[in-house]
A and B are shown apart, each in its own frame.
Chain A
Amino acid sequence: MKRDPQTVCIVMIEDDEGHARLIEKNIRRAGVTNEIIPFTDGTSALAYLFGADGSGQASAGRAHLILLDLNLPDMTGVDILAKVKANPHTKRFPVVVLTTTDDRQEIQRCYDLGANVYITKPVNYESFANAIRQLGLFFSVIQLPEAEA
């Protein structure tokens, strides 16, 4: 992440801790050193992104990249995506949907809602590790928008 990479946090919303760990390991292997903030459910992730009042003011001035799983225990990731893209303070955060679902309709819906990337988790671990490592490399080259003051 070109623009002052150290200030960009990766918000990882992933209910499966094993997956979260594997993702983190493989992103690190790609040389990404940014802080990764993990959440295992939608409620706590929303609380972090939009603050206690839910206004999104909490995210003003932050630079985040969101890694989002769609299958969460308390809500679907699609709802989180919709909320993030609808809030003025969070709408420019790049959202990478990383999930097991390869349903065509689901993919379309996510892009319609403003998802920036949609990745289906490969079931085979080698492919999975490879995909995450490439994602990490991708993170290191993409340009992120300025954080709003």
Chain B
Amino acid sequence: MPVSSTTVTRRTLLMLLAGALTLLAIVAMSGWLAESTRRYSQAVARMTEIRVVAGNLLSQLQDAEIGQRGYLLTGDRHYLQPYENARNAVGGTVARLRRVNEGEAGTAGVVDRIGSLAVAKLEELEQTIALSEAGRKDEALAIVRTDRGMRLMDEARRSLADLIGQADAQLDAQVTAMGEQASLSRWVATLGTLFILLVVGGAVGIVLRYTRELVQAQRAIQILNGTLEQRVSERTVDLQRANDEIQRFAYIVSHDLRAPLVNVMGFTSEFQEGLASVRAHLDRQPAEQDDAVASEAKRAMAEDLPEAIGFIRASTTKMDRLINAILTLSRQGRRTLTPEPVSMQELLENTVASVRHQASELRCAIDVASPLPSLVSDRLALEQIFGNLIDNAVKYLDPVRPGRISVRGRADGNGLVFEVADNGRGIAPQDRERIFELFRRAGVQDRPGEGIGLAHVRALVRRLQGDVTVDSTPGQGSVFRITLPKILTLSPETPAHEA
């Protein structure tokens, strides 16, 4: 099935579009995954911070308790150092914890609680230390023994663990979601890649097939071209042969027609001479009155027979002219053309000069346009062509008005166009093809001629690889138009004929 180029283009474009869309989907998928990864790493960072901060807070609270315990046991203020450090740091740590959990739903309560637990713990420690400093060590120990401090610590530990646990759960959820996304992306990427491969493969396939078809078509055209040239040259040879055949036929026929014509004419002459002697003899006979037979014979001798002989002679003479015309034509067809540079100006002016005398007697003006283009062609053929046309123009002038004949020429594309225009009697439309046929004439038959001139013109023009046409308005004039190549090149297939 041949694929038209538009179908191929449309299909290829559609496939490429589908491929591009798939690629876009894969890119979007990757973007989504990257975003998800970013969120995950944020969550991991937060988680780490929560762990660190929670750890710090716990150890600070424990440090504070350690310092309190040491002081309560020894009464030495030196042991209060860790407590002092821790108490100063806890506020910052709690604030940091709060900051880390900012914007996290469900953790604010826990953080607040941790904050108040830390404050309560520090208050409890401060109270005991203050009592101890005031020398009321027992009261301080009694507060310690209430286990409130221990409970506060336990609670703080649990709350911190809660916080870490929540963050852990969130991290887990994030990991799970990311895993799902990653596997989805992988699927999309795999399927997309497959699809793109398919699309590209299809497109490449179509293009390859199309290219192959193009190459095949081109090869077929080349083969056709080759055979076409061969066919044309074969046809040309055939035509050439047919043409030669016709020329030979015309030649042989006219020759063979001549022989009997010589006999007809010859024996007519013999007959005429015989008649003359019989007539002389009869004239010498004394005329007998009332001899009807004798007077009838005399009348036949004097009138009928000479008239018959006259008709025979006129007909044979005419037939002789026709045969000679065919001979001339066929000889013209066999004449070797010799292309040479010809100045049409000179040629046409010479041709016109040869009829000018005749034309001036008919009050006819002939003008040749100037300048006229020159060409390379057969001079003799050109002389005969334009001689015939100009002769005809002079011959068929309309007597009701002074004749005007103009000869002009111009270059037209690759060829030259010459025109012989007259204001003569013109040619009726139905006769415009007929006049170019042999022995055919048009219009009132009041001029001598055999109907050969234009047939001759057309045969010659065609041999010069040109054409002749006529435009005419009956009663107003005619224009004979001759197109000729600028340079007549004789093809080598056309063998030259010697006449």
Q: Is B266's beta carbon under 8 Å from chain A?
A: yes
Q: Taking A123-B261, A123-B320, A124-B320 as contacts, is the C-beta distance between A100 and B266 under 8 angstroms?
A: no
Q: Chain A at the B interface: mostly helix, strand, loop or mixed?
A: helix
Chain B residues whose CB sits within 8 angstroms of the CB of A74 once the complex forms: none
| Most interface-central of B255, B259, B261 (chain A CB within 10 A) | B259
Stretch at the interface among B182-190, B198-206, B267-275, B414-422: B267-275
**Cα-based distance from A22 to B258 in the complex (angstroms):** 15
Cross-chain contact A124 with B260 (CB below 8 angstroms): no
CA distance A101 to B267 in the complex (A): 21
B262 within 8 A of A: yes
Picked from A16, A101, A104, the residue with its CB within 8 Å of the CB of B263 is A16
Q: Which residue on A lies nearest to B317, using beta carbons?
A: A124
Give complex CA distance A16, B255 in Å.
13
- Chain B residues closer than 8 Å to A3, beta-carbon distance: none
* A-side contacts of B270, CB under 8 Å: 22, 25
Which residues from B are CB-within-8-Å of A16?
259-260, 263
Q: Are A100 and B259 in touch, CB under 8 angstroms?
A: yes
A103 interfacial by beta-carbon distance below 8 Å? yes
* Number of A interface residues in the complex (CB < 8 A): 18
Which of A71, A104, A105, A123 has the most C-beta atoms of chain B within 10 angstroms of its own C-beta? A123
The answer for the CA separation of A25 and B320 in the assembled complex, in Å, is 23
Residues of B within 8 A of A133 (CB): none
Whose C-beta in chain A lies nearest to the C-beta of B256? A71
Give chain B residues whose Cβ lies under 8 Å from the Cβ of A104: 498-499
A-B contact count (CB 8 A): 52
Q: Which residues of B contact A125 (CB under 8 A)?
A: 262, 265-266, 268-269
Cβ of A126 under 8 Å from chain B: yes
| Separation of A121 and B265 alpha carbons in the complex (Å) | 13
Contact B255 A18 (CB under 8 A): no
Q: Which chain B positions have C-beta within 8 A of A25?
A: 270
Of the four ranges (under 10, 10 to 19, 20 to 34, 35 or more), the interface on chain B belongs to 10 to 19
A105 closest partner in B (C-beta): B498
Task: Produce 1/0 per residue, A89-123, CB < 8 A to B.
Answer: 00000000000110111000000000000000101
The answer to whether A128 has its CB under 8 Å from any CB of chain B is: yes
Taking A71-B255, A100-B258, A123-B320 as contacts, is the C-beta distance between A18 and B499 under 8 angstroms? no
Asked if B255 and A101 sit within 8 Å, CB to CB, the answer is yes
A103 to B324, CA, bound (A): 14
The distance in angstroms between the C-alpha atoms of A66 and B409, with both chains bound, is 57
8 Å CB interface, B239-271 against A: 255-256, 258-263, 265-270
Q: How far apart are the CA atoms of A123 and B256 in the complex, in Å? A: 12
For window 56-94 of B, CB contacts with A under 8 Å fall at none
* Complex contacts, B265 vs chain A, CB 8 Å: 123-125, 128
* Separation of A18 and B269 alpha carbons in the complex (Å): 13
Nearest chain B CB to A18 CB, angstrom units: 3
Asked if A2 lies at the interface with its beta carbon under 8 angstroms from chain B, I say: no
B255 adjacent to A121 (CB under 8 Å): no
Given A104-B499, A124-B320; A22-B255 close (CB under 8 Å) = no
Contact of A121 among B256, B260, B262, B269 (CB under 8 A): B262
Chain B 290-333 interface mask (CB, 8 Å, partner A; 1/0): 00000000000000000000000000000010011000000000
Chain A residues, CB < 8 A from B256: 71
Question: What's the Cα separation between A80 and B266 when bound, in Å?
Answer: 27
Give the residues in chain B near A101, CB-CB below 8 Å.
Answer: 255
Complex Cα distance, B255 from A22, in Å, reads 18
Say whether, besides A103-B499, A124-B320, A22 and B259 are in contact (CB < 8 Å). no
Closest beta carbon of chain B to A47's beta carbon, Å: 24
Q: Are B498 and A128 in contact (CB under 8 A)?
A: no
Distance of B296 from chain A, by nearest CB (Å): 30
The 4 A-B pairs at the shortest CB distance, nearest first, are namely A18-B263, A125-B265, A22-B266, A125-B266
9 A-B pairs with CB atoms under 8 Å apart are A18-B266, A19-B262, A22-B270, A100-B259, A123-B261, A123-B262, A123-B323, A125-B262, A126-B269
Q: Which residues of B contact A (CB under 8 A)?
A: 255-256, 258-263, 265-270, 320, 323-324, 498-499
7 further contact pairs, Cβ within 8 A, besides A71-B259, A123-B324: A16-B260, A18-B263, A19-B262, A100-B255, A121-B258, A121-B262, A123-B261
